[in-house]
Amino acid sequence: MKNVLEIKKLQKQFADHNAVNGIDFVVEEGKFFSILGPSGCGKTTLLRMIAGFLEPSSGSILIRDEEMIGIAPNNRPVNLVFQNLALFPMMNVEENIAFGLRRKKLSKEIISKKVNDILEKVHLKGYGKKEVTQLSGGQRQRVAIARSLVLEPSILLLDEPLGALDLKLRETMKIELKKLQEEFGTTFIYITHDQSEALVMSDKVAVMNNGSFEQIDTPKNLYANPKTSFVAGFVGESNIFLGKHLKNDAVVLNNSLELKVTCIEEISEKCKVYIRPEAIILMPEANLEDLNRFTLDIKNILFDGSNTKLLANIHNTQEEIQVSLPQNRQFSHIKLGDTIEAAVHFNDCKTYRA
Amino acid sequence: MTAKHIGLNMKNATSLGFYVFLVPIILWLGLLIVIPQIELLIMSLRFENDDEIMVWSFENYKEFFNNDIYWLTFLRTAMYAIFVTFLTFIITFPIAFYITKIVNKRYSAFLIILLLLPFWVSELVRVYGWTIILRESGVINYFLQGMGLTTSGIELLYNDASMIMGLVYTSMLFMVVPLISSLEGMDDSYIEAAHDLGASKLTIFFKIVIPYSASGIVSGSIVVFMLTLGNYLTPNLMGGKNSLWFTEQIYNEFIASLNWNQGAAFGFLLLALSSFIIWLGLKLTKQNLSKALS
């Protein structure tokens, strides 16, 4: 697959800090690529450099093998969907979408045909004459995307466009965005701090922290095999334990419980063990191997529908742990104060430097 | 006490409050604006005939059209007021844009205060300030002579250019404030989005910035136009005898000729003119008054 975007040693220095700290990556043609990171990690700076609103301090940005440094935003084959969408309030839907086409000096007939085609594609047929203020949040979203996609950019950049929507609509728009991307086949680069948005929609996700990428991977790999403790903590939920590393991949937590773990990094002594709530097996069969076995004292049941968890203490220790309940209601009989046998596989105890 | 009673009391309370605030405005408008205007309207329609008897007549209005000097002054005043409004806009728009969009937000409040500062001084003093700079023995002539560019002083005052400059200067504040407030409301992302969609800087200015700030431009223009059209002081002091501003004609009728009936008729013509031009301006720019002033 050809690379639509290639970024080499990209760096952006502001007065007092490096917002983007020497990043290298490529994005393949037609993919949904997300950049996931906490606020202040430099993801917006990176996006604005690709769009052309910021000049990098050093490094290069190649779009379809053409160098973009020094080219103004209006001459780059990329378009940006803004966080607040930035639909022009003094124009109606049709004029908003036609704005970019008019700048290309296309004929009236072609413009109106393209506008109508794209309105149909984003399921807003007949909305052309409406004022943008008359639209719902989801419709405005689609107009903003249509306004950019009608220009047939090489890459569509999206700057947390779902941030302003309420939870229900955000869930719907996630799926809709993914579908739109597949229909159009345009490369999307999507930045967000919401891991669920990134995991659901993307072909690949780059996790960004402090101006650098921690890991670029498929959503599945990112979740299953986080390469750094930051990724393990940021993507998905984890129980995190501080411990002391003994030899042979064994860790002792607070001088009380010993676990067999999988070390992801070179570890000297202090370490952090990450265990996903769903990795814990309740009432394991006696013949299973490679398990750390312990007893749980149930302290609380955190009911949240399909996402209900147990809050428990590991017996005879101070360690608190959250455990996901299996979907089959096999353990719905568990009550407060119960004691229950549990275990976790060695491979599910991922251990990083502290 | 039922809920219905409470509801009724609440309603009474709000309507009482409404009248308490409405009455002073009605009194103010009625006693100081409407009644004197009606008095002037009646006056403008009264005419002293050859037998020295006051009769109802349009004679005062006919006089305006029969005498070239009156309606030519009238036309000239209207044209210059439009020109001054336009010029004020051209000069203040970059200032407003700079303060709201380009300069660091920390300094914009400071810059706005700098803009307001001269307006703490009365218009009279500011206009006299200009005459000190521009007159034959004034500051500019002093430097010109000092550099040997001229031997005799040049009279820079009392011409159309100096008058227009003075009018623009006195009007600037009333344009810049609404412009700043409408530009402040414009999110920078509109400009960036337009840039991203392929617009050049010029296109962004004409297609995004100007249409977005249209309401500010219109309200600023209305205020500046009305103030300029009705200005007496600045045309008189900076334009001198040649200024031929219509307000001076009204003044002359009231004070010099003591012909209040004629003066009243002129006053009404000016009111009609300014209303008509504003209406035309709103129609041409497809704006509406309540939207522009909100």
DSSP line for B139-201: HHHHHHHHTTS-SSPP--SSSHHHHHHHHHHHHHHHHHHHHHHHHHTS-HHHHHHHHHTT--H
Tell me the chain B residues in contact with residue A88 when contact means C-beta distances shorter than 8 Å: 190, 193-194, 208, 212
CA distance A120 to chain B (A): 21
Residues A14 and A33 in one domain: yes
Total domains in chain B come to: 2
B122 shares contact with chain A (CB less than 8 Å): no
Contact across the interface for A82 and B189, Cβ inside 8 Å: yes
Q: Which residues of A touch B200 (CB under 8 A)?
A: 74, 103
Quick check: B202 contacting A, CB < 8 Å? no
Query: Do A48 and A158 share a domain, yes or no?
Result: yes
* A86 and A198 fall within a common domain: yes
Averaged over B17-34, what is the pLDDT? 89
Same domain, yes or no: B124 and B220 = yes
Same domain, B18 and B116: no
> B35 and B104, same structural domain?
no
Residue of A nearest to B210 (CA): A90
Residues B32, B88 within the same domain: no
- Is residue A196 domain-shared with residue A252, that is, in the same domain? no
Domain shared by B177 and B203, yes or no: yes
CA–CA min distance A105, chain B (Å):
11
- Dihedral sign, Cα of residue A218, residue A222, residue A224, residue A225: positive
The amino acid sitting at B228 is T
* Mean pLDDT, residues B202-224 taken together: 92
Structural domain span for residue B13: 1-44
Q: Are residues A17 and A137 in the same domain?
A: yes
Quote the mean pLDDT of chain B.
86
Mutate to test the interface with B, among A75, A87, A88 (most CBs of B within 10 A): A88
B187 touches chain A (CB under 8 A): yes
Q: Find out whether A187 and A25 touch, Cβ atoms under 8 Å.
A: no
Q: How many CB atoms lie within 10 A of CB A173?
A: 21
Domains of chain A: total: 2
Please tell me whether residues B60 and B166 are part of one structural domain. yes
ipTM > 0.90 (yes/no): no
pTM of the model: 0.80
> Do residues B125 and B231 both lie within one domain?
yes
Instruction: State the residue range of the domain holding A148.
Output: 3-231
Optimal mutation site among B188, B191, B197, B218, interface A, most CBs of chain A within 10 A:
B197
Q: Collect all residues with Cβ–Cβ distance below 8 Å to A72 and sequence separation of at least 6.
A: A52, B195
For residue B279, what are the CA distances in angstroms to B42, B216, B275, B286? Answer: 25, 16, 6, 10
The chain B residue lying nearest A73, using CA atoms, is B196
pLDDT in tens, A160-179: 988 878 888 888 889 989 99
DSSP string covering A89-158 = TTSBHHHHHHHHHHHTT--HHHHHHHHHHHHHHTT-TT-TTSBGGGS-HHHHHHHHHHHHHTT--SEEEE
Which CATH number goes with the domain that contains A33? 3.40.50.300
Question: pLDDT (tens digit, 0 to 9) for every residue of chain A, 354 residues total?
Answer: 789 999 999 999 988 888 899 899 999 999 999 999 998 899 999 999 999 999 999 999 999 999 999 999 999 999 999 988 999 999 999 999 999 999 999 999 999 999 999 999 888 999 999 999 999 888 998 999 999 999 999 999 999 988 878 888 888 889 989 999 999 999 999 999 998 899 999 999 999 999 999 999 999 999 999 999 999 999 988 999 988 888 777 888 776 788 888 888 888 888 899 999 999 998 888 888 889 998 999 999 888 888 889 999 888 888 889 999 887 778 888 888 889 999 999 899 999 988
Judge if B238 and B159 occupy the same domain: yes
The CATH number that applies at residue A308 is: 2.40.50.140
Residue of A nearest to B212 (CA): A90
* Full DSSP string of A298-328: EEEEE--GGG-EEEEEETTSS-EEEEEPPTT
CA distance A49 to chain B (A): 12
Same domain for B104 and B6, yes or no, is no
B147 and B239 both lie in a single domain: yes
- Residue B195 to chain A, least CA–CA distance (Å): 5
B114, B167: one domain? yes
